[in-house]
Copies of this chain bind each other. A is one copy, B any other.
Amino acid sequence: MARKVIRKAVAKTPDIRTVAALAKVSIATVSRTINGSPAVSDRLSKRVWQAIEQLNYFPNTHARSLVSGRSRLLGIIVENITNPFFPELIQSFEEVAVAHGYEILVSSSNSDPAILTTCVRRMLERKVEGVAVLTFGEEEPVLDKLAHHDVPIVLAEFKLDDPKASTILLDYTTGIHAAVQHLQDLGHRLIAFLAGPHTLHSAITRENDFRAAMQDAALPIQKKFVVECDHTLKGGVAGFSQLWSLPTRPTAVLCSNDMTAIGVLRAAYHESLRVPQDLSVVGLDDIDFAEFTLPPLTTIRLSRTDLARAAFEALRQQAEEPANPKLQREFLVSTSLVVRGSTAAPAVNGR
């Protein structure tokens, strides 16, 4: 009794009962109205919405999730939010998720399996309906845990043998072939490749595609022309100096990602090399910034929007139509070459 009095005294945030009382209907009707059930008469529906408006009411998500078993929460784990590629990805993912009435939980794994584990756990605790692991294939062992918990999961470039898992395949081949072709057309023969860390599936795929493209172009690959970097700007600087210490130097460098290419641009500048006259540089990703480097970076575009949409769609399907027999389990995102200012014909003495 005393409790009730207090409840009246303190203006609590309105709940479904408050609305029902004001609209003079049952709480079931309020619930139905909110959820757009067709079985509510216009007359009552109007009264309910009016009450909702008047009270500035909105439903408690936790209560909803508890009873419905659906949280409308999706998790997205990226490798490092500080890498410009990822914020753009997150933004696209958020946009499409919110448009479909989902909320997202974001985490960076920072390539640390321990962190990934706690990320996953936190997301599981929040009862996410799906997790997009866009770390590009680094931390496989942990992923089994996710699958075990029966949560839909989508991975970039890595197939998990689990009915709840789907995969986004990146078609690097097209873009990388186009890039090598482009360089060959310009007259380059000495083309180097600054690879990503071999702990990453994507890095290995990219490197393999480079080798294949060179072979298709009948261009030899000098052994020392493929060097493993770490997908950071500093890594690009280091990779460049390794290349430059070689007796024969390449006239063009294809990089496993844009940050590496930007590192090369920077290192080349310090060596007083002119890009593209003395060295052609090609990146991969086409981060927003690529347009603004000096010179603007020729690069292989990997659309963050396409990737994010595919990831969301994979999760949505699993969450909303788990019984659908023709659930799409694989998604393909393509790449394409964007020619800007960092590539040109090699200088004659470069031959």
Contacts and interface: CB of A to CB of B under 8 A. Distances in A.
Interface of A: 13, 58-63, 65-66, 71, 81-82, 84, 86-88, 90-91, 94, 98, 103-108, 118, 121-122, 124-127, 149-150, 233, 262-263, 265-266, 269, 288-289, 292, 294
A124 B58 contact: yes
Given A82-B288, A105-B103, A269-B294, A126 B87 contact: no
Contacts of A289: 289
B82 A94 contact: no
Contacts of A266: 292, 294
Contacts of A150: 13
Chain A: interface secondary structure? helix
A261 to B, nearest CB: 12
Contacts of A84: 84
22 contacts: A13-B149, A59-B125, A61-B62, A61-B125, A61-B126, A62-B63, A62-B66, A62-B71, A62-B126, A82-B87, A82-B91, A87-B87, A91-B108, A98-B122, A103-B122, A105-B105, A106-B106, A266-B292, A266-B294, A269-B294, A289-B289, A294-B294
A13 B125 CA distance: 12
A60 B60 CA distance: 16
Question: Chain copies in the assembly?
Answer: 2
Contacts of A81: 87, 90-91
A125 B59 CA distance: 7
Nearest to A122: B103
A89 to B, nearest CB: 10
A42 to B, nearest CB: 25
A344 to B, nearest CB: 17
Given A59-B125, A62-B66, A263-B292, 7 more contacts: A60-B125, A66-B66, A84-B84, A94-B108, A106-B106, A233-B292, A262-B292
